[in-house]
Amino acid sequence: MTHVLDDLEARGLVAHSTDRDALRAELSAGSITYYVGFDPTAPSLHIGNLLQILTARRLQLAGHRPLLLVGGSTGLIGDPKEAGERVMNTKETVGEWVQRIASQVSRFVEFDGDNGATVVNNLDWTSGLSTIDFLRDIGKHFPVNRMLARDVVSSRLESGISYTEFSYVLLQSMDFLELNRRHGCVLQTGGSDQWGNITAGVELIRRADGKKAHALATPLITKADGTKFGKTESGTVWLDPELTSPYAFYQSWIQAEDAKVVEYLRQFTFLELDEIAQIEAEHTEKPALRIAQRRLAAEMTTIVHGEAETAAAELASLALFGRAELADLPEATLAAALSEAGAADLSAADDPTIVDALVATGLADSRSAARRSVGEGGAYLNNERVTDPDLVLSADRLLYSTWAVIRKGKRSVSGVRIA
């Protein structure tokens, strides 16, 4: 059986680690307890967080015990960003987000068995901690010169950084110390942008209790141009279906670049590496078929939203272009698909025509161009060719009495919502 550390390395999931040989020995000696943390700085986690959740899942599948920390206290402070000071959210807002994110992360791990997961909240050990005790027991272990040398801090010294954000590293380090004491946690994982915070926790455990702990960081996931992966033209790709529909989530993976798609298959999916190599060979031979992207999208949508939503997203991708029946789409999936395609709103009281729809959706830049598309046989309503430019989009011609899929030619598709 492949050692879990070898599998992580083969998948490109190890950017940094403390003593690699010692970590390997610890993982080989038996089940260990490890943790990964998430700050509630938004009402949902996103694709970047997903990599950390799935890495935790890989370690659990290898027999180790995960602690999933949701930062009820660190979320009130905010990890410093190079761009500037964070806006602090209210305690009530953070408390609500803690509950939402705790529910999200719980879907990806198992809670039963000898290595069942535990969700923890760092507010439990910080809410009653006095300032004096915090400074005496934690602060004394942090040399200020080393804190000032941290990249994110040094980059903010000129523009300004509050004492609050400057002290964030102490709070996160204390989490590792507390989890080590309470649960025997000996490993923290996270993104490479958290490496300074993670290793500070390792050092705190050594200084405070004289114990050895480990750290492992995954690389930041980027597009081919080096920009952060997980953002589309419509914004951040969230895990919450209310913020990013399953269809839009599916499409975000379909749009993965050829140069990066196999890398994402290794890092995000649970497919065996041999199978990924086979997909890569097929993709290289016929890239236009987007075999790798379609498999990636299907795997990830199933992991996050389930098989039914994946099937609906796949059906929508076909149906919008006339390769499946639009009537078979659930209304929520149809609405999400047309919203992604750029749906326009028209009023039923105006008796809108196919020409109005072509112009409103931007598929034609003028009414005369729209009429020309109809006359040349290039305009479609719900995948049926339209020959009459004055055809009214009446309720009986609409899907769910509201929606119309408008297509020009084979590839240009949009939609209208008529109310």
Positions at the binding site for ATP: 231
For 39: left if phi > 0, alpha if psi spans -120 to 50, otherwise beta; the answer is beta
Which residues share a beta bridge with 380? Answer: 385, 407
65-70 vs 33-38, strand pairing mode: parallel
Query: In the chain, what is the straight-line distance between the N-terminal and C-terminal CA atoms, in Å?
Result: 59
Which residues does the annotation place in the binding site for L-tyrosine? 35, 168, 172
Backbone angles phi, psi at 56, to 5 degrees: -60, -40
Which residues does the annotation place in the binding site? 35, 168, 172, 231
Residue in the structure block whose two tokens are 């969700």: 119
**Number of DSSP helices (H) and strands (E) in the chain, helices first:** 20, 13
User: From residue 160, how far is each of 41, 77, 89, 97, 167 by CA, in Å?
Assistant: 21, 16, 20, 28, 14
Look up residue 359 and give its two tokens: 């112009």
Question: Is 64 in contact with 27 (CB distance < 8 Å)?
Answer: yes
